[in-house]
Amino acid sequence: MMLHIPKVLTASEVAHCRQVMEQADWADGRITAGHQSGQVKKNLQLPEGSAAARELGERVLAGLEKSALFLSAALPQRIFPPLFNRYDASMSFGSHVDNAIRRIPGSGQRVRTDVSATLFLSEPDSYDGGELVVEDTYGHHAVKLPAGDLILYPATSLHHVTPVTRGARLASFFWVQSMVRDVSQRALLFDLDASITQLNQEVPKSPSLVMLTGVYHNLLRQWAEP
């Protein structure tokens, strides 16, 4: 399931992120790539332990915590600390699949990458190219969102970033280990949660709300991992 989540960060938060990123020192993006993806990755990245990356990562996590749509879709158990990248002209990232397990530096914790996420930090008209292209059984899906908006997609997907031909593409990216590992089960729970929300708006006193909410939580209880 691919899902566009608007306005995870406000315009002022995005502006602050860009200001910090413009003043930061960048490193070769291959520092966090695996063997296969490192061969096709050509971009820049904020070092994971840098003060800039830590500050901006906290802002992104705070925005995610306030997004009911993100919480409903991802059902996060653990979020890998957000990373930040930059694509200048001629930079790109060839087709690859994200590593299944990522270790959080300095913590000993591991994150199973069920869901991949990209949070766009550059306005789409400020650069050419740089689309995130996700491949699945229904074809290729090119994504280029307004600054502050997030795209979620299964981490099992083959995906790539097309070459930037003008300007600079700034973004945050991270992975989510979901309480519900199975993508089809997560999709069912998301649809059910959305239906409950809509019914609550249309018929707020409907007895069906209690029953459907019970079904949702009983399914979550059955499928969620500790």
| Interval 186-197 mean pLDDT | 97
Tens-digit pLDDT profile for residues 129-183: 999 999 988 899 999 999 999 999 999 999 999 999 999 999 999 999 999 999 9
Distance of CA 176 to the CA centre of its chain: 8
User: For residue 31, what pLDDT band results from cuts at 50, 70 and 90?
Assistant: confident
Average pLDDT over residues 192-220: 95
Q: In the prediction, which pLDDT does 107 show?
A: 85
Distances (CA, A) of 156 to 2, 95, 109: 12, 12, 21
Domains of the chain by residue range: 3-178, 183-223
Any idea which architecture 183-223 has in CATH? Irregular (4.10)
Upper half-sphere CA count for residue 141 (Cβ side, 13 Å): 17
Over residues 70-97, mean pLDDT: 97
- Average pLDDT rounded to a whole number, residues 29-39: 74
Please check whether residue 97 is in contact with residue 156, taking contact to mean a CB–CB distance below 8 angstroms. yes
Q: Which amino acid is residue 190, in one-letter code?
A: F
Per-residue CA distances from 71 to 25, 157, 172, 187, 220 (Å): 32, 21, 18, 13, 13
Strand partners, 128: 166
Amino acid identity, residue 28? D
| Amino acid in the structure at residue 174 | F
Segment holding 165, helix H or strand E: strand 164-166
Secondary element (H or E) of residue 94: strand 92-96
Measured between alpha carbons, how far is 112 from 101 in angstroms, rounded to an integer? 5
Q: Is the pLDDT of residue 105 over 90?
A: no
Q: Is 211 exposed, middle or buried (0-12, 13-18, 19+ CB in 10 A)?
A: exposed
**131 to 36, 60, 143, 146, 185: CA distances (angstroms):** 21, 21, 5, 12, 29
Indicate the angle between helix axes 11-23 and 51-65, nearest 10 degrees.
160
Give the bridge partners for 78, in sequence order: 177
Q: What is the pLDDT of residue 137?
A: 83
* pLDDT(34) > 70: no
**Domain 3-178 annotated CATH 2.60.120.10:** no
pLDDT at 101: 96
The answer to whether 21 touches 46, Cβ cutoff 8 Å, is yes
In the predicted model, is pLDDT for residue 106 greater than 90?
no
- pLDDT band per the 50, 70, 90 thresholds, residue 52: very high
Q: What is the mean pLDDT of residues 19-40?
A: 84
**What does the pLDDT look like over 109-125, one tens digit per residue?**
999 999 999 999 999 99
- Mean pLDDT over the full length of the chain: 95
Could you tell me the pLDDT band of residue 5, with boundaries at 50, 70 and 90?
A: very high
Q: What is the pLDDT of residue 89?
A: 96
Could you give the CA distance from residue 177 to residue 117 in angstroms, rounded to a whole number?
11
pLDDT for residue 46 is more than 90: yes
